Amino acid sequence: MSTNFRIEQDFLGEKQIPAAAYWGVHTARAVDNFPISGTRISAMPDLIRALAFVKTAAARTNVELGVLDAKLADAIVLACDDLVAGKLHAEFVVDVIQGGAGTSTNMNANEVIANLALEKMGLDKGRYDVLHPNDHVNASQSTNDVYPTAVRIALWLGIERLLESMAFLREGFEAKAEEFKDILKIGRTQLQDAVPMTLGQEFLTYAVMIGEDEARMREARALIQEINLGATAIGTGINAPGGYSDRACQLLADISGVPVEKASNLIEATQDTGAFVQLSGVLKRVACKLSKICNDLRLLSSGPQAGFGDIRLPARQAGSSIMPGKVNPVIPEVMNQVAFEVIGNDMTVTMASEAGQLQLNAFEPIMGWSLFKSIEHLSQACRTLQTNCVAGIEPNRELLAKRVRESVTLVTALNPLIGYEKSALIAKTAMKSGAPIGEVAESLGIMSRAELEALLVPEKLTQPMALVRSSP
């Protein structure tokens, strides 16, 4: 046999494994079986670190409870430390989309950790007679408690970054709201002119929307802190010693820094993926609102000559291969597309969760992958939206002021004084004639121009305030 390979075997038979590979026969079969997406587990470093946290907690617990020799456990922990530090992630070669409820991912981790631990003991890869991927690295465990636990920890870590990105974007809108607080403009409903507001008020709403979703995201994160480590196969804890689950969960929280808690019913927790559905729904909510904000930015910046033109977005790149000088709102557009992806991912998570059967949901890999993508892409999109767009937004002050001066929507404030019908008559006549509303009101004998202009001070029309008509 060539020194470039080693032979490993499982109950299906023997298989050649590259001598340099830290993965083994189970991983090799998974690579053969699942050539699906072309994206490997190595694309999810949070999941690899989370698996290392779980294996560390398991090894330490097994030593305490007399299940595992301390020398072997120490080697396993050292190997896991390397994975946490970002080493050997390229050895996680299984496709992110796989059958088997995550077994291939768990076995990939078991084999990498086992062979790395063997190296640290001064032994060759494949010396499973000394330290075995299943018997030692996976002791007191099953894929059915390891994988869901690791996915939850990885998601928690990703949500932390997403919350930071959302706060970064929210603070950007808050800064613009303060910068634009004195700039009057005409609001719009159903794309039609409405009553006055400030540009600052408009931008503050975006900050508030994001802040609300930060709160919802924290609530969803709290749900995924409940784990089933120690459940083993179906939640009964078979092959795990008494006290294992409580101690392993406690150690995992300490090791990972994630405040995980043992589920009150491990059988229920092993089959229930409701927390993933809840999280996915919140991510969809975030996506919908961010997409709406970007739709607004695209509308408000449309033009520059034949659109709304309320604001100017920073120019990021040439917008057309045929129209010279064209600049498109490419940063809001990329957020829109991320939002569409997240909404689609939510449907995937929903269907995968619904498809669970009896004591296990076999489709957690696609749920995990969908959630990881949604979290990471939203996080990156929030940062590029703030850095490459929001921070550089400028108001079109002259145009906004002109529109306020000329707007017939100011007559809305007259409703309590002269009634809806007379207000509508002023507006209709002004739009038809093009004359200022003060001149129209006076010509109709409804109110003098001076009296109307004294009432309709735009600055007063952006806050709750009762207008009082002066005595004749």
Active site residues: 320
- Among residues 20, 55, 48, the alpha carbon closest in space to that of 126 is found at 20
Residue with tokens 């952006």: 462
Could you give phi then psi for residue 252, rounded to 5 degrees? Answer: -60, -40
Q: Using the structure block, give the residue that is written with the tokens 């189970």.
A: 26
